[in-house]
């Protein structure tokens, strides 16, 4: 009996986290990022945008208890499973995947620390610099970094205003990136 009850709850939570993850991926794949803001449309560029949006959700759910905390953890797990799957699709063999995953995890947590610090201090210049350094490291000057920083600050505010109950029910509201 308990297994049936907990099994249903687990399935419901799984459906919620899948819905949330799909919304994170959709937000990260907004074409404006790649077509107007010059984010590299490469596996690494897409990783950067997915990491950025995953960070925004984790930033929003930080400090929450109960189901929200569990969902935040499942989302991170799903993110890294997706990255692992993507590496394998790119042809990286079983021997190389763990080493690459370790490097990508280190990249993710390093970036999120920089983004978190800049957001907490409401420092647009620091956020712009961190995004430029991470998203387009080889671009030299990347004027669109400031637009992306504004988008990140707006997304953070919008997610912060969203009730936790809505998020744990499977709904995230990211702003639409404006191409102008």
CB–CB of 132/139 below 8 Å?
yes
Higher pLDDT, 148 or 96: 148
pLDDT band for position 148 (50/70/90)? very high
Q: How far apart are CA 166 and CA 136, in angstroms?
A: 34
Where are the alpha helices (H) located in 29-123, listed in sequence order?
Answer: 31-35, 43-61, 66-89, 97-120
User: pLDDT category, 159, cuts 50, 70, 90?
Assistant: very high
Closest of 138, 83, 88 to residue 109, by C-alpha: 83
The whole-model pTM stands at 0.86
Of 11 and 154, which is predicted with more confidence?
154
- As a whole number of angstroms, the distance between CA 175 and CA 30 comes to 10
Q: What is the mean pLDDT of residues 17-43?
A: 95
What are the tens digits of pLDDT across the range 91-147?
766 666 677 767 778 888 889 999 999 999 999 999 999 999 999 888 778 999 999
- The string of pLDDT tens digits covering residues 47-75 is 899 999 999 999 999 999 888 998 999 99
């Amino acid at each position: 009996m308990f297994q049936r009850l907990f099994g249903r709850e687990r399935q419901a939570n799984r459906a919620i986290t899948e819905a949330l993850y799909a919304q994170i991926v959709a937000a990260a794949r907004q074409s404006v990022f790649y077509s107007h803001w010059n984010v590299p449309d490469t596996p690494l560029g897409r990783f950067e945008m997915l990491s950025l949006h995953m960070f925004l959700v984790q930033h929003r759910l930080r400090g929450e208890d109960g189901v929200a905390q569990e969902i935040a953890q499942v989302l991170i797990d799903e993110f890294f499973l997706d990255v692992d799957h993507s590496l394998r699709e790119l042809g990286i063999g079983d021997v190389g995947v763990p080493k690459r995953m370790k490097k990508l995890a280190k990249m993710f947590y390093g970036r999120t620390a920089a983004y978190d610090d800049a957001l907490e201090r409401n420092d647009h210049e620091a956020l712009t610099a961190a995004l430029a350094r991470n998203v387009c490291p080889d671009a030299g000057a990347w004027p669109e970094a400031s637009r992306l920083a504004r988008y990140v600050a707006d997304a953070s505010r919008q997610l912060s205003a969203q009730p936790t109950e809505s998020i744990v029910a499977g709904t995230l509201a990211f702003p639409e990136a404006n191409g102008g």
